[in-house]
Chain A
Amino acid sequence: MSMDIIPVGRRRAWPPRVTEATRPFWGALALGRMTTTRCDNCARYTFPPKPICPHCWSSKLAWTDLGGRGMLYSRTVIHAPPKVFEGVGPLHVGIVDLDEGVRICCGLLEDDAPIPLDSRVELVTLLYADGPLFSARRQVSAREASGAHTQTR
């Protein structure tokens, strides 16, 4: 499933480093696809993507697409950020449990109100001037149902 790609007119405050093992992830993300590695031996996902399976230590892994949807497990807003994030404004972040059973942490797009815990969220690609990051927002159907309006659609 492809995710919305939202351009952001500045550079990332702390750009992630790309490696041989993670290059496919960042490349797919820039095209609106959320991917990770999955073990051929024990069938479990890992996130972030890794060159080995952390669960069974097999080296046989394959890239797989994730649906990019899940539930918000928790969230916070950081008002006292590290110096490299100064000027970006309060940082909205959360923990998302994806439908495939993978827990990730990422930024949140909360335009109007805090996203309630245990509500449906979807991932988007934020395409900064220097590369992509992933972020989560209320799932479109959930937002429409609650009458919320956003700037990003």
Chain B
Amino acid sequence: MGSVPVLLGVSAIPVGRHQSRADAEQHVLEHEVLARLVVQAVEQAGITKHDVHSLVLAQCRPYTMQKYFCTFMAHYLRLPSSATVMEVLGNGCTGGLALEHAIRDVESGRARAALALGVNFETATASAEHMNSSMRATGDVDFHVPFGLTPISWYAMDATRYMHEFGVTRDMLASVAVKNRSHASLNPLAQYRQPITLHDVLAQRPIVEPLGLYEVSPRGDGAACVVVASEDVAKATGQPYVRIRGRGFHHEGAHQISETPNDMIALGALQAASRTAYETAGIRPGDLDFAEIYAPCTIVEVLAGEAMGLTPRGQGARQAVEGQTTLGGRIPISTSGSLLSRGHPAYVTPLYNVIEAFEQLVGRAGARQVGSARLGASSCELGNYNAALVHILEAAR
């Protein structure tokens, strides 16, 4: 028997450098961090351990020593489950896929409540060494990697093309980083909260031209837990909750670039996924009060906003400069501070985005509250937005 799934509780640690070095005298370990978050989220949701029948984990980074982490956690929490105990992996979509599976467990009637959760610890490994591994995830190991392409180099090529086609300057793209830092300054979960100026952004060393240090994601550790429950369970708790109004997914059947030339910066997979999400929600992009977009670089937020119909094609950077995507503007984007300043513990980043949307929709976003927020969108992606997953969320008020 199926039921209507809703989001009922969330918890997360501030994004930052948490992972201990291998030779530390005292360690910070993934399962201890995550277990505390589970208890916190379930308590906030107003349900008990016995309501939870599903544990869907974002796979840990290879640096996590404990393997078969999901079944280890099932024991650590002593949580018998009749629906799901598993780990999912889909690059940047990983946390979003965990949420999607938890939603399906509740929707199908297999679970009264399901947990989508994960812990991404990676900062004890230096960036250059980490990229020896991540470069193999974002390109053909034999036909792309030999040229030295890194995950964000693909986004940099998006930026070069976008500036060329639409006459956009780097300053305009860089304004997105300034805007996101100002949002992050209001977010207790954010990794970087000190406000920055456009001059600060432009003065940073180049990482992948035309993007500098503040225009690409920092690396960070994070952990998060989202409680999905049936609406009946949620109503019985008396707690505020969030409806999942629409969902969409699309993979374009290409990895980084299409061998058949296409309009790379249209982000076709995101266009398709958001179209499905809007249709299932019965809304138009203009109905959204905010969007929490998965964007590892300034340019990606601009392109994703356009692909989701939040800003007109070719106008995303200009509208960011005008403040239309800033808190208080026409359509606030990434009120959390985004991957750039809230932080990007990659496999759980989509959960952090959903948590921001949840906080906005239950009215707990504090100084970053979008006034009378009723409808919001969250997105996540993999590759160069070759696949996208979009959720439309609605306040149950």
Contact = CB atoms under 8 A, between A and B. Distances in A.
A97 B146 contact: no
Contact of A81 (B131, B159, B161): B131
B203 interface: no
Nearest to B161: A74
B128 A105 contact: no
A85 B150 CA distance: 11
Given A77-B206, A103-B261, A83 B149 contact: no
A65 B376 CA distance: 51
Interface in B26-61: none
Contacts, number: 125
B297 to A, nearest CB: 11
Contacts of B256: 105
Contact of A73 (B142, B146, B209, B261): B261
Contacts of B280: none
B136 to A, nearest CB: 9
A117 B161 contact: yes
B258 A76 contact: no
B207 interface: yes
Contacts of B134: 82
Given A74-B158, A81-B131, A103-B258, A13 B146 contact: yes
A47 interface: yes
Contacts of B141: 16-17
Interface in B131-160: 131-132, 134-135, 139-150, 153, 156-160
Contacts of B146: 12-16, 133
Given A74-B157, A76-B153, A117-B164, A16 B143 contact: yes
A14 B83 CA distance: 43
B261 A79 contact: no
A85 B205 CA distance: 19
A101 interface: yes
B300 to A, nearest CB: 14
A95 B256 CA distance: 11
Interface stretch (A1-9, A86-94, A142-150): A86-94
A102 B260 CA distance: 5
Nearest to A18: B142
Contact of B129 (A75, A83, A133): A83
Contact of B259 (A15, A81, A91, A104): A104
Nearest to A79: B206
Contacts of A94: 157
14 contacts: A17-B142, A48-B143, A74-B160, A74-B161, A74-B264, A76-B156, A76-B209, A77-B209, A82-B131, A93-B149, A103-B262, A105-B144, A105-B149, A107-B148
User: What are the 9 closest A-B residue pairs judged by CB atoms, nearest first?
Assistant: A82-B131, A76-B156, A16-B142, A91-B148, A74-B157, A83-B128, A74-B161, A77-B209, A48-B143
